[in-house]
Amino acid sequence: MYDTVKKIPITLATIAIFLTLLHYSLAFGSNVTPVKGDVLPEIKITVPQNATDRSYLGLERSGFFKIPQIKATIVIIEIFSMYCPYCQKEAPEVNRLYSIIEGNADLKDKIKLIGIGAGNSSFEVEVYKKKYNVPFPLFPDENFSIHKCIGEVRTPYFLGVKINDDGTHRIFYSQLGKFKGAEPFLEFMLQISGLKQEK
């Protein structure tokens, strides 16, 4: 009995050291912001319940999905927050980007737009979606798990991902900051992704 009691601090210390190492590996190991040429970190997102969003992304009915499973050639990801003044200010212009893409028969099936609400609950994401009439799918990241995976970037942050026919993918754009208008942004995305030449 005495021996067991004696072992408690050692067991506690072992667990604590393990958790510390885990914390630091999460904090400083995998949590690097992906750059051009990288693949996305392992991110799993819940398939939207909303049929319109599911259809837009070409996803199955339930479960989780990974971003490269979206039926598109290019996926533009906006890391936003309901609490971010720049995201709020730029929301109408990002919506316009969506409208331009959806209004272009050549692009609408090739480019998809999603938003990930860093640290936002489902409720907070819905508030933002309703406030700014965001027409594309937004996903909550309530406990910052996705946000941590991509290096805890400031918001708004944009990632451009190109999905190849064989299912592999590469990041072609990774940028913090102000969105300088829907048209120039789209033009730039088309150029640097190589989609313009493929058209």
Task: Give whichever of 38 and 124 is closer to another protein, judged by the CB atom.
Answer: 124
Q: How far is the CB of 159 from another protein (least distance, A)?
A: 15
Half-sphere exposure of 125 (CA within 13 A, CB side): 21
The one-character DSSP state at 38 is P
Residue 39 touches another protein, criterion: CB under 8 A: no
Within 77-96, the residues that bind another protein by CB under 8 A are: 81-89
Instruction: Give the nearest distance from C-beta 167 to another protein in angstroms.
Output: 31
Q: Is the sign of the CA dihedral 66, 71, 73, 78 positive or negative?
A: negative
Q: 10 in helix, strand or coil?
A: helix
Name the residue nearer to another protein (CB basis): 21 or 35.
21
- Other CB atoms within 10 Å distance of the CB of residue 53: 17
**Nearer CB in complex with another protein: 93/102:** 93
Omega of the bond prior to 156 within 30 degrees of 0, cis?
A: yes
Of 69, 39, 43, the C-alpha closest to 54 is 69
Binding positions for another protein, 137-176, rule CB under 8 A: 143-144, 147-148, 152, 154-156, 176
Please check whether residue 158 is in contact with residue 135, taking contact to mean a CB–CB distance below 8 angstroms.
no
Binding status of residue 22 toward another protein by CB under 8 A: yes
Binding site for another protein (CB under 8 A): 9-10, 12-13, 15-17, 19-20, 22-23, 27, 81-89, 118-119, 121, 123-124, 127-128, 131, 143-144, 147-148, 152, 154-156, 176-178
